Structure 1
C-alpha cells in the first residue's frame, strides 16, 4: 500500500437516502482505508436536470422498487432509514435546496474541516429518512444544527450565510464539479489515484472501488470503524 493517502470526494444530497448509505460507509472507512475523505455537499436537483436523468418517482416501477429496496438496505448497512409518509412530496416537491445551502454554509464556516458538516448532514438525513420531519424551514434546520452541537448564535449566523450569494455560488460550483465528473445522480464517489479520477455512482460499488484504489472491502461495517449511529 502506498504511504500517501488517496483523495476521495463524496458528492451527496440529504434528500437522497442512497446518499446516506454511501455517506455512512465512507465515514466508516475513512480511518480504515488509506484515504483522505472530502465531503462535497451538492444539489441533486441540479444534477438531475442538467444530466437529463429521471428520478425514481417519475417511473412507477422504480419508485415501488425503491421502497422495498431501502428496507433491505437499511438492515444491511445498519442505517435507520424509514420512508416518510409521502416520499414523493419530500424528494420532488419540497426538495433540498435550502437544506444543502445550509450544509454548504456550515462547511464554509468550518474553513475546510468536515466535523460539523458530517454531524449536520447526518441530522438532516435523520429528519427526513428516520423521523419524517421537514427540512425546508429555518426552524427545522436550526433543530438539526442544535442536535449536531452548534450553538444558537452560530446557527443564526449560518442561516443568514446560507442565503448569501457566496454560498449559493459555492453549492452551484460543487454541483457543477459533480457534473464534470459525469454525475447523473447521488451518491457520486470520485477516487483520485495516480493522477486519475475514477468515478463511482451509487451505494453498491464499494467492492469495486476498493479494488481500484488497492484497499480491502470488509463489508458495510469494517472491524476497525468507530460506530457513529
Structure 2
C-alpha cells in the first residue's frame, strides 16, 4: 500500500499548531504516511481570509486559555501561556521566525528533521519558557539548541533575509489559502489523489477514519484503554 502524504501548514505563534505538530510527529512511524512540514505565515492567512484571532473576542480568549491548559495536559506538551500574550501574538508576531524556519527548510533537502527540531525549539521559547522569537539572537539560540552549528545558524539568518526566502514563505502561505485556510494548524491528507482538509488539533480521530488508519490517542506509544 502506498504511503499517504500528509501536509501540516503551521506557524509557531499558534499554540494549537504546536499541539497538532507534536501529535503528527509521534504518528510519523505509526501511520503509513509521509509527513510534510509546511511552515507558513498565520498573519497572512488571517488577513486574506478575513478571520479574527480568538483572543480578540473576550469570551473566546478566556475559553482558549483553559482549553489550552487541558489540551497540553492531555497531549503531554509542555505548553504554558506567555506573560504578555497580546504582545506575543499581535505586537511582535512571528514573521522573522517563520522566515528562519523557511530558510532551514530550503537548505534541508533530505527529510525534515532539522525543520522539526528548529520549529519545536521556537515553539518552546514562545509557548513554554516565555522567551523572544523575533530577535536574531533568539533565532540563533533556537537553532543551536536544535542541533545546528554556529556557522550554519549565521548562514541561515542571512538567508532568511533574502528575497527568495520571503517569496517562498509567501508562496507557502498562498498554498494554504488555496486550500481555503482560515487559520492554523491546517492539515491536508492526500488520499487516492484527492486532498482532504482538516483544521485544528482536535480532528485526529476523524482524520484517521478518513485515511484508513487507527487513532491511538495523542500518545500512541501509551494508548489509554477504555473498558
Q: How would you bin the TM-score normalised by the shorter chain?
A: over 0.9
Distance 2:193 2:108 in 1: 27
Matched, 1:114 2:117: no
Q: Is the 8 A contact 2:55 2:64 kept in 1?
A: no
TM-score by length of 1: 0.96
Matched, 1:204 2:193: no
Give the structure 1 partner of residue 184 of structure 2: 186
Distance 1:21 1:99 in 2: 18
Give the structure 2 partner of residue 162 of structure 1: 160
Shift of 1:71: 0.7
Distance 2:46 2:86 in 1: 15
What is the SS of the residue equivalent to 1:4? Answer: coil
Shift of 1:113: 2.4
What is the SS of the residue equivalent to 2:16? Answer: helix
Give the structure 2 partner of residue 142 of structure 1: 140
Shift of 1:93: 1.1
Shift of 1:199: 0.4
Q: How many residues align?
A: 223
Shift of 1:58: 1.2
What is the SS of the residue equivalent to 1:131? Answer: coil
Q: Is the 8 A contact 2:13 2:94 kept in 1?
A: yes
Shift of 1:148: 0.4
Q: Which 5+ residue runs of structure 1 have no aligned equivalent? A: none
Give the structure 2 partner of residue 92 of structure 1: 90
Distance 2:170 2:209 in 1: 32
Shift of 1:112: 5.0
Give the structure 1 partner of residue 9 of structure 2: 11
What is the SS of the residue equivalent to 1:158? Answer: helix
Distance 1:61 1:141 in 2: 33
Shift of 1:26: 0.4
After superposition, the C-alpha distances for 1:188-229 in whole angstroms (9 at most, x for unaligned) are 00000011100000000000000000000000000289xxxx
Q: Which 5+ residue runs of structure 2 have no aligned equivalent? A: none
Q: Is the 8 A contact 1:13 1:44 kept in 2?
A: yes
Deviation >6 Å, runs of 4+: none
Matched, 1:54 2:52: yes
Q: Is the 8 A contact 1:32 1:224 kept in 2?
A: no
Q: Is the 8 A contact 2:79 2:128 kept in 1?
A: yes
Distance 1:224 1:66 in 2: 26
Matched, 1:32 2:33: no
What is the SS of the residue equivalent to 1:85? Answer: coil
